[in-house]
A and B are shown apart, each in its own frame.
Chain A
């Protein structure tokens, strides 16, 4: 079956612009996660959605970052007024609750 799908695969934008990153999880997976992977680093947790519960936003690095998940399925991560330090690979994962996470291929974001 289809895995976690992320788009775009690569995004280049100018400093100060807003960007939207999309994640389409595996059908039926109630949990959805966003992580950020900076160059040469491990994954940094950003935000977690579980079903209809309020999301866990404790990993968002600043108020320029936000995310939503519509209808318990597709999620969008938005970064406003992008800065060069936002350059990274943004990975999305989904899972049935309590089960291992399945990851997408990520979006490589480059801020000029």
Chain B
């Protein structure tokens, strides 16, 4: 079974600081996408960023960037200049292994201290 591990149940960061959320995954796929989703209290899952595994360049979306280490199967999310609106649960997701759909980690609860 494919697994996604987020080892930090909760992280806290001061507003305007930088925080990194870790994620490791296990997949037998050779070409795949990885995703970070944000889930605020409203429950909706919002796509933050995605990484194509065959691309060596790390994906960047404004204040969000990833550190993708394919050999280590590591996919961390860096949030720069943290804002109060970034407070949410963050989920890492990888392919479900030979099938469509995603496998999600258990999430990291990000707290932004004003």
User: 1/0 contact trace for B82-97 toward A, CB 8 Å?
Assistant: 0000000001010010
User: 1/0 contact trace for B35-54 toward A, CB 8 Å?
Assistant: 10100001111110010000
How far apart are the CA atoms of A33 and B45 in the complex, in Å?
13
Our pick among B35, B46, B100, B105 for the contact of A42 (Cβ within 8 Å) is B105
Chain B residues with a Cβ closer than 8 Å to the other chain, count: 24
Shortest CB-to-CB span from B28 to chain A, Å, is 16
Q: In the complex the two chains form, is A48's CB within 8 Å of B99's CB?
A: yes
User: 1/0 contact trace for B47-78 toward A, CB 8 Å?
Assistant: 10010000000000000000000000000000
How far apart are the CA atoms of A100 and B52 in the complex, in Å?
12
Shortest CB-to-CB span from B22 to chain A, Å, is 15
User: 1/0 contact trace for A39-54 toward B, CB 8 Å?
Assistant: 0111111001010000
User: 1/0 contact trace for B6-39 toward A, CB 8 Å?
Assistant: 1000000000000000000000000001010100
Q: In the complex the two chains form, is B50's CB within 8 Å of A48's CB?
A: no
> Given contacts A42-B91, A100-B35, A105-B44, is CB(A48)–CB(B104) below 8 Å?
no
Contacts of B45 in A (CB 8 A): 43, 91, 93, 101, 103
Contacts of B35 in A (CB 8 A): 100
User: 1/0 contact trace for A68-112 toward B, CB 8 Å?
Assistant: 000000000000000000000101010000001111111010000
Contacts of A44 in B (CB 8 A): 104
Chain A residues with a Cβ closer than 8 Å to the other chain, count: 25
A59 beta carbon closer than 8 Å to chain B: yes
Q: In the complex the two chains form, is B50's CB within 8 Å of A42's CB?
A: no
Contacts of A45 in B (CB 8 A): 96, 101-103
Question: Could you jot down 16 A-B contacts, CB within 8 Å?
Answer: A33-B101, A40-B106, A41-B107, A42-B91, A48-B99, A48-B101, A50-B100, A58-B99, A89-B43, A91-B43, A100-B33, A100-B35, A101-B47, A103-B45, A105-B42, A105-B44
